[in-house]
Structure 1
Amino acid sequence: MAREEELVLAESVSVVALSRALADCFGFEDLVAKVAGSARALIGCDGATVVIRREGKCHYVEEDAIGALWKGQAFPLGDCVSGWAMTHRQQVVIPDIRSDPRVPLQLYLATFVRSMAMTPIERNGESIGAIGVYWASYHQATDSELLAMRAIAQSVAPVLLSARSAAMS
């Protein structure tokens, strides 16, 4: 078996384990913490965040990272990469934050982030959030990493939608 196939298989097993673990979460905070921590571990990045779309804004609800990011903050959909991913319903890969016009540099230059990828979380044709992963150095996200991010987003979508509804009521 080739190394890339071994990695994909290992990530698939980990995503299945994550899906099972999500079912055992005890609420919204527990759920988003599990997603951020699992995304960081599965991808092998320096940071991961969970973003929720609510009332035209991107709410950064959880992070697991080597340095502080934006947990607890909210930004208009049009002012951040997570909003772009949700609005366009597409993964975003940014190997160098300084060279992409979608990146609000004033927010990123104070952090460790130099490269990133963002994946929308979708359910029933609606982008309800996003998962972001970050690297402290130049990094081109691999097909395997992007596939793992999509799998995590698909696994978390139904549980996140239910947890988000419960947390908002």
Structure 2
Amino acid sequence: MRHRVPAVIANVSQDQRIPWLAYEPTFVQSLVMVPIRTLNPIGAIGTYWAAQQEPAPQDVKVLQALADTTAVAIEKVQVYSELEHRVEQRTIQLQITNQKLA
């Protein structure tokens, strides 16, 4: 994720990026991780396989599309939250102004 590109790992026990001891007791043999937001990643979405395999490029594209959609949804929630906060602040300002006018 530091490089902002998908990580495709066909064999988790042979890849230096993987903390093998964490995966050894699990079923995971292969994985793909893609960043949520490529410019400034805020997380990742992954797929795991119980068998060693090289995923198809289309699988990686679909997973990245899901991550991109997730990024858009998160950003929309953040924008909505910011707008809601601004409306609350303006409402308070209007109430104070109305009290002064009264």
| TM-score of the aligned structures, taking structure 1 as reference length | 0.43
Structure 1's consecutive aligned runs of 4 or more residues displaced over 2 angstroms after TM superposition are: 160-163
Shift of 1:95: 0.5
Cross-structure match for 2:41:
127
Q: Given the alignment, which residue of 92, 100, 107 partners 2:22? A: 107
For the residue of structure 1 that corresponds to 2:59, the secondary structure is: helix
Question: How well do the aligned residues superpose, as a CA RMSD in angstroms?
Answer: 1.5
Give the C-alpha shift of residue 128 in structure 1: 0.9
Tell me, in whole angstroms, the C-alpha distance in 2 between the residues paired with 1:127 and 1:147. 17
Residue identity matched to 1:122: R
- Matched residue, 2:10: 95
Encode CA deviations 1:110-168: one digit per residue, 9 max, x unaligned: 11100000000106x210110011000111011110110111011110213437xx7xx
Q: Which residue of 2 aligns with 1:136?
A: 50
Gaps of 5+ in 2: 82-102
| CA deviation vs aligned residue, 1:58-86 (integer Å, no higher than 9, x gap) | xxxxxxxxxxxxxxxxxxxxxxxxxxx2x
Q: Which runs of 5+ in 1 are unaligned?
A: 1-84
Q: Percent identity?
A: 33
- Structure with bigger strand share is 1
Larger radius of gyration: 2
- 1:116 maps to a residue whose letter is L
Q: How does 1:1-169 map to 2 (within 5 A)?
A: 85=1, 87-122=2-37, 125-161=39-75, 162=77
Q: Distance in 2 between matches of 1:111 and 1:140?
A: 19
Shift of the alpha carbon at 1:88? 1.0
